[in-house]
Amino acid sequence: MLKTISCGDVRAEHTGKTVTLAGWVHRRRDHGGLIFIDMRDREGIVQVVFNPDNAPGGIHAIAESLRNEWVVQVTGTVTARPEGTENPNMPTGEIEVAAEQVKVLNESKTPPFYINEESEVDELIRMKYRFLDLRRQSMRDTIIMRHEVVRFIRDFLSERGFLEVETPILIKSTPEGARDYLVPSRLYPGKFYALPQSPQQLKQLLMAAGVEKYFQIARCFRDEDPRADRQPEHTQLDMEMSFVEEDDVLNLIEELYTKLVETLFPDKWIMRPFPRMTYAEAMASYGTDKPDLRFDLDLVDLSDIAAQTEFRVFTSTVASGGIVKGFSAPGYASLPRRQQDALIDFAKANGALGLVTIALTGEGDVDDLTEEGFRSPAARFLTVEQVKAIAHRAEANMGDMVLIVAGPAKTTNQALSALRNEIGQRLNLADPNLVAFAFITDFPLFEWNEDDGRWDAMHHAFSMPKDGHEAYLDSDPGKVIGRLYDLVANGAELASGSIRIHNRELQERVFGVLGYTKEQVAERFDQLLTAFEYGTPPHGGIAPGIDRLMMVLTGRDNIRDVIAFPKTQSGFDPLFEAPNVVEQYHLDELHITVEAEDSVEVT
């Protein structure tokens, strides 16, 4: 190699040795005669010093010419830094390398942004020059950590008898509820491959094939509408196991994630065992199936108390089948008026019709509450006893404010969940070092799609109904609970999975509820249904997203920062400028005529 040691690996124990380094000029400082170079490679930075008195002629002139990001090779002697100049903040801070030879391996233009500081840079520029962005320390650390995480997962599962099996990228539609990316076929004019939304059917076929324990670090492609934490292609740890039940899958994931965090993120802590709650419990207590459990602020149902009040908003909501729910915001009783209004706007922006506040402004115990002890826009419709009952249910103390939303269950939960996260954040209730993993189980198998007037699979079409729930498939699909589970952490969904159907007849009934015609079923799922007729074992699996896991573990709030070559939020790649037009001959070969070539602004 062009180096004998990495820059970041030189230590005091190497003092007196001659080393050859190869890397980048991170920074150069001229100190009247002495020239210092911080030299960087993937492992870190070491100080190189050029001393005109000791170094052979000529090399000083080269040292003078060096600029940031030039690639150089330096040979020199490791020496202790003069007393008082050590840098305890650097792993290499006790030593420096006294240069004896230097060779420029490549020059560099002035980069469009600083590599040697973590200053704010426009993200489009960072993405256009991703090869430079990845040189920056925080991105480099993330890429290294991502490798460590994936390696840990591979080792962990291999030790437990899992086989990593690759599945095709050119395949047919594998519905996971998103739009497919299509690839036109040259050899079969007018026909298309679809990129896998996940290897779902393939991993089930591997169970039919007797693989028993499968995993893959799998790329999944979904042509969905842009969202901040989404990418057109994302990476999953895709897994499937035969002869398992829910606990087998969940226990394995819990052990994997616990060991992973303990080994690679020792500064983080987790709650053991991972809390497990049903979908219904999560919706009741947090208004969402992805609760952030780093803080409490549990929601409580106030419908029964609300129904007894004289407050029309409450009574009419309950009478029309809606709910009244809320929670207590600690210390919020004295919130200034303007901020209260902002909270109301926030609730409305998140789907609530309004927000009713009860500020417990008095002193002492809630049991001793008087008319003067609280303030609320609904005060004249509420008796002191009713306010006490609400405060007790919400476990509010004097000084707190109870925030209440009334309306249909769906929008009320949605608004309260957003409010809960907002207050949790404002009050800094989340311990930044806690990764609050939890399992959510027992999801409904189907959800009603208002817009299209049909049942959609809550997760996907392949999940098994819970024992005894098959009967509702025909009579009341909304009541069917599936053998479904999610892993969540800090308010993000990290994985979904289920115990699968492995029987043709049951699978066909589920497709029937979803409104697939016989032809559609035959076209899309024939291979799986056929496999079910040849001794497919009971099986189940899960697919944790690697990108989101990396976000949660590294504390990043931008999914693009944990991916080496991401796309923008609108699915554009500024580095390769993809997607892009292709040459006419290519289209001709594919039998494709492009009608519209509207150019869309890149964002």
Kindly list the residues in this chain that would bind ligand ASP in the complex (CB under 6 A). 176, 198, 200, 460, 496-498, 541-543
In the complex, minimum distance from the CB of residue 549 to ligand ASP, in angstroms, rounded to a whole number: 14
* Of 347 and 542, CB closest to ligand ASP: 542
Beta strands per DSSP E along 279-383: 300-301, 323-329, 356-359
In the complex, minimum distance from the CB of residue 286 to ligand ASP, in angstroms, rounded to a whole number: 21
- Residue 5: CB atoms within 10 A of its CB come to 20
* Of 176 and 400, CB closest to ligand ASP: 176
* Of 200 and 507, CB closest to ligand ASP: 200
Instruction: Give the pair of three-digit tokens for residue 455.
Output: 């049942």
From 589, 455, 542, 559, select the one nearest 236 (Cα to Cα): 542
HEC-encoded secondary structure of 180-205: CCEEECCCCCCCEEECCCCCHHHHHH
Distances 436 to 9, 45, 208, 493 between C-alpha atoms, Å = 35, 35, 35, 12
HEC-encoded secondary structure of 78-138: EEECCCCCCCCCCCCCCEEEEEEEEEEEECCCCCCCCCCCCCCCCHHHHHHCHHHHCCCHH
Residue 298: exposed, middle, or buried by beta-carbon count in 10 A (0-12, 13-18, 19+)? middle
Instruction: Give the pair of three-digit tokens for residue 411.
Output: 């929008």
The rounded radius of gyration (Å) of the Cα atoms in the chain is 30
* Of 178 and 280, CB closest to ligand ASP: 178
* Of 325 and 548, CB closest to ligand ASP: 548
* Of 102 and 458, CB closest to ligand ASP: 458
In the complex, minimum distance from the CB of residue 178 to ligand ASP, in angstroms, rounded to a whole number: 10
| Sequence-separated (6 or more) residues with CB below 8 Å from residue 82 | none
Torsion angles phi and psi, residue 119, rounded to 5: -75, 160
In the complex, minimum distance from the CB of residue 205 to ligand ASP, in angstroms, rounded to a whole number: 13
In the complex, minimum distance from the CB of residue 381 to ligand ASP, in angstroms, rounded to a whole number: 46
3-state secondary structure of 417: helix
In the complex, minimum distance from the CB of residue 10 to ligand ASP, in angstroms, rounded to a whole number: 45
Spatial contact of 355 and 324, defined as CB atoms under 8 Å apart: no
In the complex, minimum distance from the CB of residue 200 to ligand ASP, in angstroms, rounded to a whole number: 4
CA angle (18, 22, 27) in 5-degree steps: 105
Instruction: Give the pair of three-digit tokens for residue 377.
Output: 């826009």
* Of 435 and 542, CB closest to ligand ASP: 542
In the complex, minimum distance from the CB of residue 460 to ligand ASP, in angstroms, rounded to a whole number: 6
* Of 50 and 485, CB closest to ligand ASP: 485
In the complex, minimum distance from the CB of residue 543 to ligand ASP, in angstroms, rounded to a whole number: 3
Residue 533: exposed, middle, or buried by beta-carbon count in 10 A (0-12, 13-18, 19+)? exposed
